[in-house]
Structures are given as C-alpha cells and as structure tokens.
Amino acid sequence: HYLEEAERLCRNIGIIDQGLLVENTSMRGLLRQLSMETFVLDLEQPVAVIPDDLAPVSRLLDECTLEIDVNRSDTLNQIYSQLSAAGIRVRSMRNKSNRLEQLFINLVGQSPVRANGK
C-alpha cells in the first residue's frame, strides 16, 4: 500500500517487518511518535531570505513556499511569531505528506530482525 494514502485513509495501522508485527496502533498514536514534523507554508508575498532564527530549520522551496521543521515540543505560535516579526505572512499551511513513510523507515530500521541481520 502507498503510505501516504494509508496515512490519509486509515484509523489503525500495523507495520510488519520481515514477517514480524513491529507496530499495531492507531494512526494518531503512531504519528505522535514523531519528534519533529515538517510543514509547508504558502506565503502571501515572495521572500528572498529566510529569517536568521528560522534558517537552521527551514528551506525556501520557491519564493512563496517555505518548508519548516518543527519540534513537537515547540508550538506553531512560536513559528508564526518569528515569521510575523520578519514581516512574513502565511497564506496557508499543510503537513508535508511523508510522515508515515518516515516513521516506517524509523521502525523498520530499528527492528531487532534488521539489527541481527536475520
């Protein structure tokens, strides 16, 4: 199954690695395991430079689209405050669509089956 589609459609999910069930939980519970989320922000006006305080965690995809990594311990209000202080206004925001794929890679890469090479 396509992971992006599964993230959008499923309430519960099981992840199998080499025949072993390594995760069986709700989609919401699984996504809570992410320590960081990536958001895509559509900006109202073109931006040439990312503010210094956001530069380490963000990338300009084009002059009106900003991708930003947010720690789960941070709030989006903090991000909006930093953008607002730099005169940057956000038109819309969405999650980057690879959250489940990233978790899948993390889980499968950490499984004991992989670690032992079996």
Q: Say how many C-beta atoms besides its own lie within 10 A of residue 51's C-beta.
A: 14
**Max CA distance (Å), the chain:** 54
Q: Indicate the pLDDT class of residue 116, thresholds 50, 70 and 90.
A: very low
| pTM (two decimals) | 0.69
Q: What is the pLDDT of residue 47?
A: 93
Domain spans of the chain?
A: 3-115
Tell me how crowded residue 102 is: count the other CB atoms within 10 A of its CB: 16
What pLDDT digit, counting tens, does each position of 25-77 carry? 999 898 888 888 899 999 999 998 898 888 899 999 999 999 999 988 888 89
What class is the 3-115 domain? alpha beta
Question: What's the chain's average pLDDT?
Answer: 86
**CA 89 to CA 64: how far, in whole Å?**
10
Which pLDDT does position 31 carry in this prediction?
85
- Confidence class for position 91, pLDDT limits 50, 70, 90: very high
Strands 20-26 and 58-62: unpaired
